[in-house]
Structure 1
Amino acid sequence: MESLDFKGRWDIIKGRIKEEHPDLTDEDLSYEEGKEEDVYGRFQQRFGKSREEIQDWFNKLDKR
Structure 2
Amino acid sequence: MNEDRIKGQWKQLSGKLKEKWGKLTDDDLKQAEGTSEYLAGRLQERYGIAKDEAHKQINDFQKGL
TM-score computed with the length of structure 2 as normaliser? 0.60
Gaps of 5+ in 1: none
Count of aligned residue pairs for this structure pair = 59
Superposition pairs for residues 24-35 of structure 1, below 5 Å? 24-30=24-30, 31=32
> Which has more helix, going by share of residues?
2
Structure 2 partner of 1:6? 3
Structure 2 partner of 1:40? 40
The one-letter code of the counterpart of 1:38 is Y
Aligned identity (percent) is 31
Gaps of 5+ in 2: none
TM-score computed with the length of structure 1 as normaliser? 0.61
Query: Greater relative contact order: 1 or 2 (C-alpha under 8 angstroms, separation 6 or more)?
Result: 1
